[in-house]
Chains A and B, each alone.
Chain A
């Protein structure tokens, strides 16, 4: 999967360091009230899908200093995800 940079301002939950990066879905975490709406006094409904996405550290940081098997996992809401290869 590709992490989008949807240009959404404010208290969002997808940090910049994974935007435009490609990873794989590790697990579906369930449906959660959208915290990016709840941060602004809204209800965050309907609940939205949340996934654990796993990245190879080498794919996030070009100069990563570690073992080739090192990974990073992060929670990404559905609206930040696109199939690998697409970036918008």
Chain B
């Protein structure tokens, strides 16, 4: 196709990239990864497909996993107790394989709102929530969530009254945290699937409240 034939009815800005290309030059870490990967393949230690499959496995989590568990806990008090006392076992009950060393569920109450941050890097319950959102790994969130959580929450649109304490959980070591939000009022008749749809990623991080039912 030459320039003369290139006339169609949309503006090229419509498909401008949504983010800047960041792989034009390799970082030191990327170069090291590619060198190690090609050595492992050349030496027959593992295949390219095995490495790809492992990356796919690592990224298979999604917020729906945590939402399913919390919705079950909202309708089944015995399951809720099991989830609070052993989150990994409660995940396994629903067929969810959690690869984290240790998972902890923390329950929001009328007296305490909980939120999670990893000030050191990006520790996150990936098996139950998938990859962390961009805000979670940003230095702004990591430094401010511990310092001024109420202000950060207000920026997320969540205004916690002073009568409710805020507990910030720094996920700095071996535990990974799931926040169990309070079940919204007016959801008594909803099915477990409909309840799960109210539980968003950010509500499980503690930066939002569940969606109010329509």
Contacts and interface: CB of A to CB of B under 8 A. Distances in A.
Interface string A14-38: 1101000000000001101001000
B146 A29 contact: no
Chain B interface mostly helix, strand, loop or mixed? mixed
A18 to B, nearest CB: 8
Nearest to B164: A67
B146 A72 contact: yes
Contacts of B151: 65
B172 interface: yes
A30 B86 CA distance: 13
B167 A75 contact: no
B200 interface: no
A84 interface: no
A28 to B, nearest CB: 12
Nearest to A70: B166
Interface in A46-70: 50, 52, 57, 60-61, 65-67, 69-70
A3 to B, nearest CB: 12
B170 A70 contact: no
Contacts, number: 74
A69 B173 contact: no
Chain B interface: which size bin? 20 to 34
Chain A interface: which size bin? 20 to 34
A73 interface: yes
Contacts of A6: none
A13 B171 CA distance: 10
A75 B175 contact: yes
B121 to A, nearest CB: 9
Interface of B: 101-102, 112, 119-120, 146-151, 162-175
